[in-house]
Structures are given as C-alpha cells and as structure tokens.
Amino acid sequence: MWITLTAVALSAAPAPAVLHLTIEGHRLSPSVLEAPAGQKLQLIVENKDSNAEEIESYTLNREKVVGPGKTVTLYLGPLDAGDYDLYGEDHPDSAQATLTVR
C-alpha cells in the first residue's frame, strides 16, 4: 500500500516549466526569459553556432558546455522571484540573457 501512495504522490507533481534558449551569431536568444517562481524549470539550450559555447550563470550556480550544433538541458529550481544572469563564457559581451522569475 505504501508503494501505491508514493506513486500517486509522484504523479501529482507538476511538470517543470520548459524554457528555450538559442545560441546563434554569438548571441543568446531570447535575451529575456520569464518563468514562474517556486516551480522547477527545464532550460533547453540549442547551439546553432559552429563552435562550442559555455553557458554560465553565477546567480544560478551553473555552467554547461554546449557543442556546435548540439542541444543540452539544464534543470533548475524551484527558484525564488528575481533576475538571474546567463551568458556565454567565450562571448560575454554579446551572449547575454536574463531569466526573470516572478
């Protein structure tokens, strides 16, 4: 009976909010992502450039290399309301985005 109750509790958990971020021309698009506070997030990052880029965020405590033509998924949160930085380590002046959580 305990296994049945656990399975029901797990299936009732909300699916994470899915966000998409693209690297193209050494830029991150969109430059502003919005997400709900208090909910787990799934950030899908697609690199359309011909060279790798390392996505970094000090405020999210994350870093991930995305190979050329590759897609990676980052799992975040649940996050408190606020703004979180994202940038490309190899092109920090142009590859920038903000994740705004409300």
The 3-class SS string of 61-82 reads CEEEEECCCCEEEEEECCCCCE
- Please report where in the chains the tokens 């985005």 appear, as a residue: 97
pLDDT tens-digit profile of 33-75? 999 999 999 999 999 999 999 999 999 999 999 999 999 999 9
Query: What percent of the residues of the chain are helix, what percent strand, and what percent coil, each to the nearest 5?
Result: 10, 50, 40
Contact 21, 62 (CB under 8 A): no
| Confidence category of residue 3, pLDDT binned at 50, 70, 90 | low
How confident is the model at residue 14, as a pLDDT?
80
Q: What is the pTM of this model?
A: 0.85
CATH topology of domain 14-101: Immunoglobulin-like (2.60.40)
Sign of CA pseudo-dihedral 73, 74, 79, 82: negative
Rounded CA separation 35/82 (Å): 10
